[in-house]
Amino acid sequence: MATTDCQSTSGLRLRPCKHQVAGHLFEEGKAGSLVDDRGHFYKPLQMGPRGDREREFYEHIMSAVRNEQDELMDTEASHSGNLSDDGSEASVSGRTSEDDEEHRQQHLPFSVRNAVLLRSIPRFYRTVELDGRKLLELEDVARRYRHPSIIDIKVGFRTWYPTADTRYIEKCKVKDHMTTQAALGFKICGMQVYRSCQRAYWRASKRWCKQLPQEAVNKALVRFANNEAGLRPEDVYGGERGAIAQLRQLEAWFQKQREMCFYSSSVLVIYEGDAETAEEANVTIRLVDFAHTFAAEGHKDSNFIAGTRALIKALTGVMKLDYHDCIL
């Protein structure tokens, strides 16, 4: 994959990201994520292969999109002209309809077959260096919200990847079973909810999230979707523009793609904290954290698909719960 040279951050006015709910936080003397006045987010790269993988993931996406920008129209025209040929080959070779769909997907331009992914991940600008540390300069996904309510949910029934060493796998298995990851297929890593009546945020600590029992997860999901200004779970999770509809689009992309496997990645659900209606909430889903993303080598990412389905089922269920019975 292509490598982007690190650039200096001199001249930029950087400050701690106050809306970071999980991951790199300014806690216990640790260096956290930063933002600037342009709407850019600076995420510290982890040391070793984890940081390399996340950087390479973004650089691969950026390189693939750039390389096809000048050729996209010609590629689409060429592909559309060959659709009938693909169909005849399928009938002769005995390919199943699923095989034929995979074949068609593989020959679509990168930005077309991965359009859902490109909408879901933060935009990548470059890799920068600050005080000897490397950071990814990304889009600040909370920038366009006045009072962003955000929940970070790690997706999948397991966070370990098959090629990892035995010690790492066993460590992940223990953590997955100590949280709701292995049982539910997802876990809440952090969240903040804007309480409109108090004009302030309620934030869940890392410890609170780690100790959240399975039976309390639904209550947490209900609590996240209530901002004391009129919003309820059906406004945030339901509807044509809600979280569930967007998660289904993401799941549909995962069902087709065979290029990448995402372990220990998270879905962010973001909405306008002082909104009074579903339309004002402007709910959006973003996919983040790619330190454990690998080439799929033609295989379906069944772990992430199963986790996404489990999350959709949970969100569908909490829309039927009474908020007053779910106060944490």
For residue 197, the model assigns a pLDDT of 85
Axis crossing angle, helix 83-93 with helix 72-81, rounded to the nearest 10 = 50
Mean pLDDT, to the nearest integer, of 129-146? 94
For residue 77, the model assigns a pLDDT of 60
Domain extents in the chain? 1-143, 148-325
For residue 164, the model assigns a pLDDT of 96
pLDDT above 90 for 196: no
Following CA atoms 137, 143, 147, 153 in sequence, which dihedral angle do they give, to the nearest 10 degrees?
-50
* 307, 184 Cβ separation under 8 angstroms: no
In CATH terms, the fold of domain 148-325 is D-amino Acid Aminotransferase; Chain A, domain 1 (3.30.470)
pLDDT above 90 for 82: no
Entry field: residues in the chain = 328
For residue 211, the model assigns a pLDDT of 93
Is pLDDT larger for residue 7 or for residue 110?
110
d(CA 249, CA 221): 20
Q: Which two tokens stand for residue 77?
A: 């025209």
pLDDT above 60 for 34: yes
Please name every residue paired with 202 in a beta bridge, in sequence order, or none if there are none. 193
* pLDDT tier, 326 (very low <50, low <70, confident <90, very high otherwise): low
Tell me the H-state helices in 107-232: 110-113, 115-120, 166-178, 181-184, 206-210, 217-224
pLDDT above 60 for 249: yes
Cα dist from 119 to 7, 102, 167, 242, whole Å: 26, 21, 36, 15
Mean pLDDT, to the nearest integer, of 158-179? 96
Q: Which residues contact 320 (CB under 8 A, 6 or more apart)?
A: none
d(CA 184, CA 13): 41
Q: Which two tokens stand for residue 313?
A: 């089922």
For residue 26, the model assigns a pLDDT of 61
CA 127 to chain centre: 20
In three-state secondary structure terms, 150 is strand
pLDDT above 90 covers what percent of the chain? 72
* pLDDT tier, 24 (very low <50, low <70, confident <90, very high otherwise): low
Nearest to 305 by CA among 238, 248, 246, 241: 248
* pLDDT tier, 177 (very low <50, low <70, confident <90, very high otherwise): very high
The secondary element (H helix, E strand) that includes residue 21 is none
For residue 278, the model assigns a pLDDT of 95
* 244, 225 Cβ separation under 8 angstroms: no
Lowest average pLDDT, out of 3-12, 177-186, 307-316, goes to 3-12
* pLDDT tier, 318 (very low <50, low <70, confident <90, very high otherwise): very high
Mean pLDDT, to the nearest integer, of 133-139? 95
